[in-house]
Amino acid sequence: MAQAKFLKEADLAAWLGELAKGRKVLVPQKDGDAVVFKPWHEGVKPVLDRQATESPKKAVFPASEKLFRFSYIKDPENPGKVRVELEEPEKPEPALVFGGRPCDARGFLIFDRVYDSPKTRDSYYVARREATAFVTLACPEASNTCFCHAVGSGPADSAGSDALMTPVEGGYVLEAISPKGEELLKSPLLSDAGDKLAQAERVKAQAVESLPPAPDFAGSPEALMARFDDMGFWENASAKCISCGACTYLCPTCYCFSITDEESGMKGVRMRSWDNCMSYQFTLEASGHNPRPTKAHRLKNRVGHKFSYYPLIHKGAIACCGCGRCIKSCPVSVDIREIVTMAIEAAPTAEESAQPQGAKQ
């Protein structure tokens, strides 16, 4: 591990100014009652004393992005013949996400298995991923909606981060996690952490102690599959859900999208935009048929994807970082922890256990 560095609180703005030279720096800022990630500029003081309302997912996976522009060009010798010209977007500018929590950076590891795998490589996602660095802030204290420790993480988890920052008396201890992080920590504003490192370790330990008891998600893939056809279970779980989609838009690990072409005359642009699996239109087919016609079906898919389908495909990795945003910001207090726990506790009945393998459709 690279040598730990110390940054004085008074030097934070100056360091951000250094980091902003040649790259876009996104920091958590107040926006009404919310805290969102927006570009830093001189005079902006990042909000570091609370978890941001939204994750910094947009930095690498924009809510709406142009994949390419296209033009239809008619052959002047044969007007019935048309060719298509494509114009790719410019390469993404270098960026730094500063002040997110460890769960925010860890969320991109869920994306990586899908969009940057040996079988599938999304060039748009990969380009932004490679152009973006993450300096995360270790959580000094957990909230009652946090459950990172139940999904294999923790308040100071460095996975996915390039540098980890821990608040201590008078400033922050910074630890480089990757080569990108080592470059970021070469500033003359940073000094050797010295005895501040021991204080940082105590802050991390106290954060772990502040966590509520961890729900046990062992066996969730099999338990949720066992409840797959039990619509009574899912109707009960979704009874108070209003299908607003806040959980999907705020989630650091939701990565579904739709693609649309926006045309004007002989020109147009192909757009990729976030989509929401809790929306009725998400699976609505052109025929009018919808394989997920009710919110119970849609919630089953959302929970099942994170705690069953994804783990079964990706060697047990749960597609959730435990940030708790879907719980904290849900207007009707749907708690995904409770749903998964109920599925695990609802052991299959004798009739279900006796059902022949493959009998379910």
- The strand pair at 64-75 and 267-274 is best described as antiparallel
Provide the mean pLDDT of the chain: 94
Amino acid letter, 352: E
pLDDT number for residue 77: 87
Asked whether the beta carbons of 47 and 35 are under 8 A apart, the reply is yes
pLDDT of residue 169: 96
Angle between helices 336-345 and 295-304 (to 10 degrees): 80
pLDDT at site 79: 81
Question: How confident is the model over 238-283, as pLDDT tens digits?
Answer: 999 999 999 999 999 999 999 999 999 899 999 999 999 999 999 9
* pLDDT reported for residue 358: 52
pLDDT band at 350 (very low <50, low <70, confident <90, very high): very low
Question: Dihedrals φ, ψ of 186, to 5°?
Answer: -85, 5
Rounded Cα distance, 254 and 172, in Å: 31
Query: Would you state the pLDDT for residue 356?
Result: 59
User: Distance from CA of residue 201 to its chain's centroid?
Assistant: 26
The encoded tokens of residue 339 equal 């749903």
- pLDDT tens per residue, range 110-161: 999 999 999 999 999 999 999 999 999 999 999 999 999 999 999 999 999 9
* pLDDT reported for residue 3: 77
What's the Cα-to-Cα distance from 186 to each of 2, 10, 334, rounded to whole Å? Answer: 11, 18, 45
CB distance 160 to 178 below 8 Å: no
Instruction: Determine the Cα–Cα distance for residues 243 and 136; give it in Å rounded to an integer.
Output: 31
What is the pLDDT averaged over residues 320-339?
Answer: 97
* Residue 133 near residue 181 (C-beta atoms within 8 A): yes
